[in-house]
Amino acid sequence: MQKVWITGASSGIGLACALRYASQGAQLVLTALPVGNQLEDAVEQCRAAGAPGVVPLPYDFSDPSGLTALCEAAWAAFGGLDVVYCNAGISQRTLVEDTSEEMVRKIMEIDFFAPEAIARTVLPRMLAQGGGHIAVTSSISGKFGFPLRSAYASAKFALYGFFETLQAEYYHRGIRVTIVCPGRVQTAISMSALDKGGKPHGQMDPGQAGGITPDRAARIIVRAIARGKREVLVGGKELLMVCIKRFFPGLCARLVRRIKPQ
């Protein structure tokens, strides 16, 4: 029976992955913002889907002060963890000139420093138990810069640097890492993205609305983790840009400049 901790688990990709693990009989620790009843609803859905045990641990990842205690609670919930999936994140919809230093630091805190700290905290415990799997959600914006995403793209680029290094250093000691690289998935990330002044964007991007469903994304992600894949691309035709960036970086730059900001 797998023991799985998922952050950002109250909606979107996180909830869909939690439900897929629940249907496989996994014990789940679910973390999300303590807003409304979303996390409690996610817990009930997972129990109904077949999870034999579900523990909610609400947390706001913009506050780093409680991360060590959070990791300890997640590890203790079922006496260890086999999979830790750092999925929580926040985006933005601002030009560089409209992006305050406060916004940059908030996005980096949630999108990079929180998963980095979680990984460092659970790593010694995973090594002591003989191994474990850490997954993290980056983005195709972690492969190339994208309009209105300066801080978001920076955080997602940083995830690649840290987690690829983590795997290189500890692969031989039983630590597996999967970097999840979504394109367009039908989630609320654009709704909660930070707009000018730090306010929620409050709109669903057309590209997001036309993306693949969270359930389809979850099937791809959970299977990739089970197979120990180093990286998994999740989305539709927009993923072609990752190949274009790799083999034709100049063309990629021209195409990105033509993207209508949204």
* Tokens matching residue 35: 């807003």
DSSP assignment of 35-56:
-TTHHHHHHHHHHHHT-S-EEE
- Which residues on neighbouring strands pair with residue 145, listed in sequence order? none
* Catalytic residue ranges: 152
DSSP assignment of 78-146:
TTS-SEEEE-----B-B-GGG--HHHHHHHHIIIIIHHHHHHHHHHHHHHHHT-EEEEEE--GGGTS--
CB hemisphere CA count around 25 (13 angstroms): 1
* Tokens matching residue 261: 């900001």
The contacts of residue 127 (CB under 8 Å, 6+ apart) are 170, 173, 174, 175
